[in-house]
């Protein structure tokens, strides 16, 4: 879980969320893209989470093109560190138990 920033936090629902060194606008835009991806292409969503967890993960099928079009990976096939940090902070579980939340999961939520 990323450490909390000591700067100005952003408010998400009923609690304060601040990812260290990440602009709130980037976090919001990334979350909107990831949420859309989760519903429109669940396999690409799953692949993004796996790639965020393991830099050596090989993407399935046309997932690279889908993620690149959404700006969720760079030309080298890897998410930017900020995107990776956002994805990791807002997902938990694995396989059919994989969850996404617009608010950051607390470590005690797991």
Q: Residue 87: its pLDDT value, please?
A: 92
Torsion angle in degrees (nearest 10) through CA of 78, 37, 89, 17:
130
Alpha-helix runs per DSSP H in the chain: 24-40, 42-53, 63-69, 81-89
CA distance 105 to 110: 8
pTM of the model: 0.77
Q: In the chain, what are the helix, strand and coil shares in percent, each to the nearest 5? A: 45, 10, 45
| pLDDT values of the chain reduced to their tens digit, one per residue, 110 residues | 344 444 333 333 433 345 778 888 999 999 999 999 988 999 999 999 999 999 999 999 999 999 999 999 999 999 999 999 999 988 888 887 888 888 777 655 54
């Amino acid at each position: 879980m990323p450490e909390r920033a000591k700067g100005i936090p952003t408010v998400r629902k009923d609690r304060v969320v601040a990812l260290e060194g990440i602009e709130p606008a980037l976090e919001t835009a990334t979350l909107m893209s990831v949420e859309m991806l989760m519903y429109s292409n669940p396999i690409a969503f799953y692949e993004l989470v796996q790639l965020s967890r393991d830099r050596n993960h090989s993407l399935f099928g046309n997932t690279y093109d889908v993620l690149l079009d959404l700006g969720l990976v760079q030309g080298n096939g890897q998410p930017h560190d900020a995107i990776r940090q956002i994805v990791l902070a807002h997902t938990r579980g694995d396989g059919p138990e994989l969850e996404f939340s617009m608010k950051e999961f607390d470590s005690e939520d797991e």
